[in-house]
Structure formats: C-alpha cells, structure tokens
C-alpha cells in the first residue's frame, strides 16, 4: 500500500504543448508500465536512478490537457498496465483542479499588468516594480537609469490618418524600443504615446547611448498609411539614480524624483525641436542627488 514518495519532488515545465499528444497520441488514458526512455524521459528529472516502472497521468480540465502527474518506482511491479487506476486518476483530477485554479489566477494577475494594445507592461506594473528596482539599486549600490519616452506628433498622425494608424505607430514603436533593451529592463506604456523604461546597473553615459540607439531605431521605422510610409520620431528624457554608501534615501522620494527628472528632461527634448535625447543635468551626481533629497528626510 501507498506510494514511495521522493524526498524532493520536482515540477518540470515544458514549453512544448504537443508533448503529451506526441507521446500518448490523442488518448488521455494514463500510462502505467516500464520506464522507456523514448516515451518517458521528458516527464522525469533523473538525478540518480531511472525508475523501473512509472505512472504518467494526464491532467485534463475542460477538455484541455494542462500537464501530467508523473510517478516512478524502483520496483518494476509497482506500476503495471493491468493495475486499477481509479485512485491515481482521482488524485490527478484533484491536482488538475488545483493547477487550473492557479493558472487562472496567474493569467488574471498578469493581464492586469499588461497593456492590451502593445503587450508591454502598464502603469500599474510600474507602480509595483519601481520600488523594487530602487531597493535593489540601494542594496547593490548600482545605478538605476530611467527613460521617459514620447512619440512625437502622434496627435497629428491621428488627426490626419485616423486612430487606427496612430495605434499602429504606438505598437511598432513599442516593439522597436523593446528590441533595444535587455530582457531584464522594464518597459511600460505610461499613458497614450508615452513610455517609461527602467534600466538597472546602467550609468548616465551608458543610458544616453542606449537612448540614442532607441531614437535612431524609431526614426528609421516606417509606418504604412494610405499616403505611403510615414516616418516616426521620438523624444527621450533620461535620469539616473546613483545610490551612495551610507546615504539611505526614502524610496518614495527617489521614485518621485527619478520620474520627475526624466520628465523634465523630456520636456526640454520636446521644446528643443523633438527627435532628441536630453539627460537630466546633475541628477546622476551622487552628492547632488543626496542634497536634492536631504530636505525630504
């Protein structure tokens, strides 16, 4: 009676949605029997010993296979194709319900943090993540750069070509911006045609170089309209927070000033003729920054 449980069970995640169908055909019945490498290897993480017999039970919810419940034993007779599967199928049904509930929760939570038009994160995500990035910067004493980006003349594009073209501009520009950033950088659609990016461990000079690459990549982007390709430009304001050992600024003050300084630099870029990058002067000087926030402490 009972199952021999592994001391450290593992959750194995595969990005291949066709794996179950490939291994089991379109049958959703459990597989019980000898461990066969060709059939079973993807379902087990083998640290030491291969199991002699296995049970692989698809987790089915609402006609969809969410995954499998996999059990193995060193006893070759523990799981055999002639044994009754009522109990393990019932257990798999319970696991399937729990997994479905968790997936639904994560999907709902993720959708609340994603901008539906562009697929990048939204302002709500920024409100959560900004404090985390500042705390990380303070712990590691590494710089944190912020870009405030604004697509130029989008209102004119909307007025002349319609909002469907304006939406395409926003979608394409956001994709181009994302391509110029690292995987761990944060990009959010702040509002309308405005975006904010957070770049961990990027100092002021590096930030300006990256912002210029973004500006150029957007500039060479052509958007199709009834009148042909229309060029798009973007203005970018940059600010950088350099934590100082022994100077613990309140995260809320850093958040406010990091965004405000980048926005001020953006306003200057817009007033200087657009299609440009402006960095917040002096903000990346650690002592200047400390003095800037001193009155808030």
List, for residues 151-170, the tens digit of each pLDDT value. Answer: 999 999 999 999 999 999 99
Could you report the per-residue pLDDT of 1-60, keeping only the tens digit for each?
445 555 555 555 554 556 666 666 556 678 899 998 887 887 887 666 788 998 888 888
The pLDDT value given to residue 185: 97
Beta-bridge partner residues of 60: 65
The domain segmentation of the chain, as residue ranges, is: 19-111, 121-294
Measured between alpha carbons, how far apart are the two ends of the chain, in Å? 65
Q: Output 106 or 250, whichever has higher pLDDT.
A: 250
The pLDDT value given to residue 119: 93
Task: Give the SS3 label for residue 98.
Answer: helix
Class of domain 19-111: alpha beta
Q: What radius of gyration, in Å, describes the C-alpha atoms of the chain?
A: 27
Helix (H) or strand (E) holding 288: helix 286-294
**What percent of the chain has pLDDT above 70?**
81
- The CA distance from 111 to 16, in Å, is 22
Most confident region among 45-59, 137-151, 282-296 by mean pLDDT: 137-151
Task: Give the SS3 label for residue 282.
Answer: coil
CA torsion 31→37→40→45, rounded to 10°? 140
Q: Is the pLDDT of residue 64 over 70?
A: yes
- Is residue 148 within 8 Å of residue 263, measured between CB atoms? yes
The pLDDT value given to residue 83: 87
Could you report the per-residue pLDDT of 108-127, keeping only the tens digit for each?
666 678 999 999 999 999 99
The pLDDT value given to residue 8: 53
The pLDDT value given to residue 108: 62
Q: Output 247 or 169, whichever has higher pLDDT.
A: 169
Of 95-104, 208-217, 232-241, the poorest mean pLDDT is in 95-104
The pLDDT value given to residue 205: 94
Task: Give the SS3 label for residue 278.
Answer: strand
- The CA distance from 10 to 13, in Å, is 10
The pLDDT value given to residue 217: 96
Helix (H) or strand (E) holding 28: none
- The CA distance from 25 to 160, in Å, is 54
Query: Among residues 69, 72, 71, 63, which one has the least CA distance to residue 95?
Result: 69
The pLDDT value given to residue 285: 39
Beta-bridge partner residues of 223: 230
Of 67-76, 197-206, 256-265, the poorest mean pLDDT is in 67-76
Q: Is the pLDDT of residue 171 over 70?
A: yes
- Burial degree of 23 (CB within 10 A; 0-12, 13-18, 19+): middle
Pair of tokens at residue 204: 């002021």
The pLDDT value given to residue 99: 82
Class of domain 121-294: alpha beta
Average pLDDT of the residues of the chain: 84
Instruction: Report the Cα 27 to chain-centroid distance in Å.
Output: 34
The pLDDT value given to residue 26: 57
Could you report the per-residue pLDDT of 178-227, keeping only the tens digit for each?
999 999 999 999 999 999 999 999 999 999 999 999 999 999 998 988 88
- The CA distance from 107 to 112, in Å, is 9
Query: Among residues 96, 61, 75, which one has the least CA distance to residue 3?
Result: 75
Give the start-end residues of each E strand in the chain: 31-34, 53-61, 64-73, 121-122, 144-151, 186-191, 194-200, 222-225, 228-231, 234-241, 277-279
Q: Output 14 or 80, whichever has higher pLDDT.
A: 80
Pair of tokens at residue 276: 């440009």
CA torsion 181→183→188→189, rounded to 10°? 60
Pair of tokens at residue 249: 């600024």
């Amino acid at each position: 009676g009972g199952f021999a449980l592994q001391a450290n069970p593992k959750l194995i995640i595969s990005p291949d949605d066709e794996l179950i169908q490939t291994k089991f055909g379109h049958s959703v019945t459990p597989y019980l029997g000898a461990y066969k490498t060709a059939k079973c290897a993807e379902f087990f993480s083998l640290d030491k010993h291969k199991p002699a017999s296995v049970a692989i039970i698809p987790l089915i919810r609402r006609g969809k296979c969410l995954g499998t419940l996999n059990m193995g034993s060193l006893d070759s007779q523990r799981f055999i194709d002639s044994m009754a599967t009522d109990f393990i199928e019932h257990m798999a049904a319970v696991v399937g319900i729990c997994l479905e509930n968790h997936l639904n929760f994560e999907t709902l939570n993720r959708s609340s943090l994603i901008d539906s038009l562009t697929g990048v994160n939204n302002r709500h995500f920024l409100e959560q993540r900004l404090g985390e990035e500042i705390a990380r910067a303070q712990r590691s004493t590494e710089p944190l750069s912020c870009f405030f980006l604004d697509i130029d003349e989008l209102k004119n594009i909307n007025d002349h070509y319609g909002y469907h073209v304006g939406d395409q501009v926003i979608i394409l520009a956001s994709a181009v911006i994302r391509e110029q950033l690292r995987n761990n950088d944060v990009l959010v659609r702040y509002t309308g045609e405005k975006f904010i990016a957070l770049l961990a461990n990027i100092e002021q000079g590096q930030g300006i170089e990256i912002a210029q690459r973004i500006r150029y990549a957007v500039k060479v982007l052509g958007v199709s309209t009834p009148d042909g390709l229309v060029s798009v430009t973007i203005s970018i304001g940059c600010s950088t927070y350099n934590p100082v050992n022994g100077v613990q600024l309140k995260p809320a003050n850093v958040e406010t000033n990091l965004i405000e300084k980048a926005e001020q630099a953006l306003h200057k870029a817009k007033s200087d003729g657009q299609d440009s990058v402006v960095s917040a002067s002096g903000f990346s000087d650690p002592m200047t920054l400390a003095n800037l926030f001193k009155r808030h402490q």
